[in-house]
Amino acid sequence: MDVTRRAFAFFGATALSSIALSGRAYADVPSNIRGVLVQETAGCCRVTLALDRPAQARTFFLSEPARFVIDVANSQLALPGGAVGQGPGAGLVRRFRYAPQEGGNARVVLDLEGPASLVRQEIGGRRSATLSFDIAATTPSAPPPAPLERPARQQARRTVVIDAGHGGRDPGAIGAGGTREKDVVLHCALTLRDALQQRGYHVALTRDADSFVELEDRVRFARTQHADLFISIHADASPNRETAGASVYTLSDSGADRAQNMMASQNWDLDLDTRNALARDILVDLAQRDTTNRSAQFAQLVIPRLGQVAPLVRNTHRSAGFFVLLAPDVPAVLIETGFLSNSTDERRLGDPRARERMAEAMAGAVDAYFATPVVYAAAR
Ligand SMILES: [Zn+2]
């Protein structure tokens, strides 16, 4: 996933295609950030950036001290205080600071009272070019859940769905040497498919050629395949060319909430025996929580193995609301194989033998994952 498209993973295919149609001249004109507003709302804190035209943004958290960073691509800070300054926070946000970044990007940093997570984010579309983010304080982790029996499908042949990011008209990140993310990740996906098939897994790919696949269709595909595991493969890019290494993402708790909403809006039926709406809610919630746990479990297995064959980004297991991770009953991870903006990583990702080593590492993690006993959570 590259810098500019990362944010769009949250908004889904509709936003992606509308931007794709919006034309080149449109995208080339920088947007002006005219206002930043921090408001305390029910249970969270809303940060709104007012722009004069739509822009793409990426966000991330930093710790010690806790900060939330919003990088807006191709934009200028046209705030009353000038291009560099600060403003008042509210609730969880102590204050915000802003400054231009290299490469024509603008950065807004929110200084936080403590650790937080992204609950929701929105863009206003082409008419109202607003970026809005809801962040909430991270609640301390719950006591360990009591185990239940695993109900079914223990012995079946495992199905792994591999999702090569981007494709077709969506090239993804472009490397310093011209490598396109969509090509590199397809090669990685095909290599991983071979490695998994050799180990006896049933493997299905969301794309096996240079074709465009909507994000929603990728998720739907994983569900119709009754995937036991979903692995989305991407390559990153950063304005900082020094940044290198692989990273692994799973669904965050806030993303899990989104999955609930998405399921409701799309009439997705979970494969569960439901007697009434309440029972259904509880069962969905259990399936959801188990999925999140299982995804994290796979992430913990794949990270050290990847680390043996490739450099890793620090704090590599990250939680995110990436759209493709949102199927409520399929454990899913998104693996960023490296940074195409870094020339060493770009060379590594372009080397078939390096890709094979990564595929073997991932396949080893898949073996370990299915060998790990399943623990079903009974209570939060
Ligand atoms: Zn990508």
CA of 79 to the centre of ligand 1 (A): 31
Residue 312 lies in a domain: yes
Residue 149 lies in a domain: no
Residue 151 lies in a domain: no
Domain co-membership, 114 together with 31: yes
Which protein residues have their CB within 5 A of the ion that is ligand 1? 1, 165, 172, 234
Domain co-membership, 120 together with 168: no
Domain co-membership, 278 together with 329: yes
Residue 143 lies in a domain: no
Residue 147 lies in a domain: no
Q: Domain range for residue 237?
A: 156-375
CA of 230 to the centre of ligand 1 (A): 15
Q: Report the chain's mean pLDDT, rounded to a whole number.
A: 77
Domain co-membership, 34 together with 63: yes
Model pLDDT, residue 128: 61
More confident residue, 125 or 308: 308
> How many distinct helices (H) and strands (E) make up the chain?
9, 18
d(CA 338, CA 40): 37
Domain co-membership, 267 together with 206: yes
Q: How many folded domains does the chain comprise?
A: 2
Segment among 20-34, 233-247, 270-284, 297-311 with least mean pLDDT = 270-284
Domain co-membership, 123 together with 162: no
Domain co-membership, 223 together with 97: no
CA of 235 to the centre of ligand 1 (A): 5
Helix, strand, coil fractions of the chain, as percent rounded to 5: 35, 30, 35
Domain co-membership, 163 together with 20: no
Domain co-membership, 217 together with 358: yes
Looking at residues 292-318, what average pLDDT do you find?
85
Residue 380 lies in a domain: no
Domain co-membership, 275 together with 184: yes
Does 349 have pLDDT greater than 60? yes
CA of 32 to the centre of ligand 1 (A): 26
Give the model confidence (pLDDT) of 220-275 as tens digits. Answer: 898 889 899 999 999 988 888 999 999 898 876 555 555 555 555 544 444 444 33
**Residue 251: CATH number of its domain:** 3.40.630.40
Model pLDDT, residue 140: 54
CA of 113 to the centre of ligand 1 (A): 32
Residue 148 lies in a domain: no
Segment among 101-115, 166-180, 255-269 with least mean pLDDT = 255-269
Segment among 82-91, 153-162, 344-353 with least mean pLDDT = 153-162
Domain co-membership, 275 together with 324: yes
CA of 188 to the centre of ligand 1 (A): 13
Residue 219 lies in a domain: yes
Strand order in the sheet with 31-41: 75-77, 31-41, 44-51, 130-137, 116-123
